[in-house]
Each structure stands twice: as C-alpha cells, then as structure tokens.
Amino acid sequence: MTSRDIDRKLTVVGALASLVAALALTGCENSGEPTQPQVLPSVPSGGTVVGAAVVDCGSERIGPRSLAAGEARRCFVEAVAARRAAVLESTALDTEGDPTVYSLTGDTRGGIAVLEDRSKARFRGAGPARWRFVCTSIDSAEETRPGHADLVVNRLRGCTSPEPV
C-alpha cells in the first residue's frame, strides 16, 4: 500500500467521522416513536458510495497534456452542491511532471476540507510539503479557459489560510 493509498483512506475515514458526528448531533433525541427510514439521495454522476453515505468521486489528473477536469470533478461539485459527503483526489502535474496532490472532502454542511501534498514536487521550495485548509464552496466544472490547466484549487472559494500538517 502506497502513501497515496493511505492518505486516500484517511480522507475517506475523516469524511465518515465528520458525517457520523453531524448525524449524532442532529438526531440524538428519541421520542419513543418509530423513525422513518431515510432515503439516501442519488449518487452524482461518476461516483460510488463508500461506507454508508460518502460518495467517492474518484480522482483526476491535470497536467500539461490534460488540461480539463472530467467526470470525477463534476461528481464532487454536484455532491457538494447537494450537501452530500464526498471525496475527490486531484493531482496537478507541474512543468517537470511532478505531482501536487489535493485530497478534497466535502461534508453535509457544504464545507470542503483540503489536504495539499507537495512532497513529491522537486522544485517546491522551502517550508512544509503538506498543508491543510477549509473552503466554503467550489465553482462549477463546466467552464474552462482554453489553453489553461483547470486546477481544482483555482475553483475553491472562501478558503481559510493554509496551515502546515
């Protein structure tokens, strides 16, 4: 198992833990009445359900030869808009082909936690290789600028200052 696989599993586990905590806080009161089963919303295009209610939208790879986002991004944007827990891994390749990996976790309140990992980028400069920040929204994956890489971080809005991990 690679460190990428471990990070991805930790991201999914974190999303599940956030979802469980949110559900526990909103539904702790028991009136003695039977509860109605909850129907889960449909899964966004291209996604699969992980665990009970986290949509795994998969991954995307954006680089000099692949500039546009695809189904994985669309799945994540749709899930966040519908306030469904979801995960996406977006890898951006720099000019030298070195990856920066963004692990995104959307929660049921519309928030997006982002883990940025530049540890494999040879020319990243000094300072921490991994950063964490939280954003309030993500723009649609529909419009792209011709000739420019559609990096996921350029679509995030309302973000906190990055903190080293």
pLDDT tens-digit readout, 129-146: 999 999 999 988 666 666
Tokens of 1: 């198992």
As a whole number of angstroms, the distance between CA 63 and CA 91 comes to 8
Ordered by start, the domain boundaries in the chain are 3-21+48-120+128-164
Kindly tell me if the per-residue pLDDT of 26 is higher than 70: no
Prediction pTM value: 0.69
As a whole number of angstroms, the distance between CA 138 and CA 145 comes to 16
Mean pLDDT of 113-124: 94
Listed residue (128, 119, 85) closest to 99, CA to CA: 119
pLDDT tens by residue, 42-55: 445 555 555 558 99
